[in-house]
Amino acid sequence: MVVGAARAGLVVALSLLAPRPAAVAAAAAVPGPARQPAPPDAAAPADATSSTGTARPTSASAARRALVPGAGGPIRPDQDAEGGLALLVATEGRQSTQASYPFVVGEGATIGGQLRFLSQEYPEYYGSEYNDLFSVALATPQGAVVLATGNLNNSTWGAGTEGYSGSAETLTFNEDLGRFAGQTVELQIHVANVADTFYDSAVAVSDLRIDDEPPCDDDRLDDQHGVPDDGDKGDRIDGFDPVFAGRDGARFRSMLETVAAEAGISPGLLAANALGEEPSAADWLAARPVPTGQSGIDDWAGIEPTIRKAIPGAPEIPTAAGEFGSGRDALRAMAWMLRYAEVRMTAEAGTAYTARPANERYALQGYAFDDGVPAGVQLARDAGPAGDGLLVTSGPVGSGDPQRTATVRSAQAVHLANTVFGEGASCR
């Protein structure tokens, strides 16, 4: 998959005049003698302003269309001959320019590409205090990952290109992103003038790709999870699909997407767990009070303070006389409980949880939801890297075996994530 594929959840967001990232923050500008602006044939445009845009491409070609290839301005994207995304990030009279690409990391994902540092400072100001700099880094929940960094004075230079008088040697970067699977990271491509803004610099990136594994299909889910093909229709891999038909189905889908986004979880995961508790969309869409048990959480008033303490920004969802004010509030409570399980297992089980494919993470979240977070953490640790014993592939669903129930619901969650919500969830 090239950068921009929908299953990676890539969102391209261009941020101009952004603060310098940690990778280059230490290289503060050093005041130097006044210089005259670059000659007319330099890279600085007559108009040094540009707008900020946001696009949600579904492919590299869609990204190219959405971001206006060849247009003027400090960030100029295109698609190179190899099929990856190519772009030029330039200062163009600014102190700094940054292109930011937030995306959700897919299973087995890697990121790679090539770059060249370009500058009008070379050769005249090579070795001076006008030490323009660049960095390419990933901002992740675990901290910054620097992919490439450099400056005018520590680069090896040659003949210029793209209108710049100097072009540094090509650098190649590749990084395995598996440890961030399921998390949102941000690629940051940053270039900055140092000491003044008269002579510009740029980073030319080519063949930028984010590759991951294909989403999981129903046959693989059936095999790995032992999903029944008879008995209760609601326990089949596609048992909840009819709920999303018609106008109410569309409303329910929209509600799931909104509520899941608020809590930062998969709408497929939320849908499967919600419909496992209450299979009628009408009860979730209800504007009237509903029992707290509909959310699968009988003692919401008791657990809510713990969730809000563990997750800053988690909302208050009130109850009265054992009822939520609406079906939507019941769904929100379930979403934040699933999020709480994810946060706790990430902190306490580490890679025994985060490094797993989506189907196993969803099973662990569902199991922790039903049997408690400590039980989910212990199961994640006991299963080992191969996932031994994590999924229970036989037995009835909902018969007092929370691990078997979580196994089936997680298969349905991946199915819904891929077929209804277009997430591209994967399995082992």
Extents of the domains making up the chain: 6-211, 218-419
For residue 50, pLDDT beyond 80:
no
pLDDT on residue 53:
26
For residue 233, pLDDT beyond 60:
yes
Give the count of alpha carbons within 13 A of 166, CB side only.
Answer: 21
For residue 51, pLDDT beyond 70:
no
For residue 265, pLDDT beyond 60:
yes
pLDDT on residue 171:
92
Mean pLDDT to the nearest integer, 213-239: 82
HEC profile of the chain: CCCCCHHHCCCEEEECCCCCCHHHHCCCCCCCCCCCCCCCCCCCCCCCCCCCCEECCCCHHHHHHHCCCCCCCCEEEEECCCCCEEEEEECCCCCEEEEEEEEECCCCCEEEEEEEEEECCCCCCCCCCCCCEEEEEEEECCEEEEEEEEECCCCCEEECCCCCCEEECCEEEEEECHHHCCCEEEEEEEEECCCCCCCCEEEEEEEEEEECCCCCCHHHHHHHHCCCCCCCHHHCCCCCHHHHCHHHHHHHHHHHHHHHHHHCCCHHHHHHHHHHHCCCHHHHHCCCCEEHHHHCCCCHHHHHHHHHHHCCCCCCCCEECCEECCHHHHHHHHHHHHHHHHHHHHHHHCHHHHCCCHHHHHHHHHHHHHHCHHHHHHHHHHHCCCCCCCCCCCCCCCCCCHHHHHHHHHHHHHHHHHHCCCCCCCCC
Taking Cα atoms as reference points, which of 204, 203, 199 lies closest to residue 44? 199
pLDDT tens-place string over residues 361-406: 999 999 999 999 999 999 999 998 888 999 999 888 876 899 999 9
pLDDT on residue 296:
92
Mean pLDDT to the nearest integer, 209-222: 80
Q: Which CATH architecture has domain 218-419?
A: Orthogonal Bundle (1.10)
For residue 294, pLDDT beyond 90:
yes
pLDDT on residue 162:
87
For residue 354, pLDDT beyond 60:
yes
Average model confidence (pLDDT) for the chain?
80
pLDDT on residue 75:
52
pLDDT on residue 311:
92
Cα–Cα distance for residue pair 292/104, rounded to 1 Å: 32
pLDDT on residue 142:
86
Mean pLDDT to the nearest integer, 238-257: 95
For residue 179, pLDDT beyond 50:
yes
Band of the pLDDT at 68, cuts 50, 70, 90?
Answer: very low
For residue 23, pLDDT beyond 60:
no
pLDDT on residue 180:
84
pLDDT on residue 26:
34
Please state, as a whole number, how many other Cβ atoms lie within 10 Å of the Cβ of residue 318.
Answer: 11
Cα–Cα distance for residue pair 153/185, rounded to 1 Å: 30
User: Among 100-114, 330-344, 369-383, whose mean pLDDT is lowest?
Assistant: 100-114
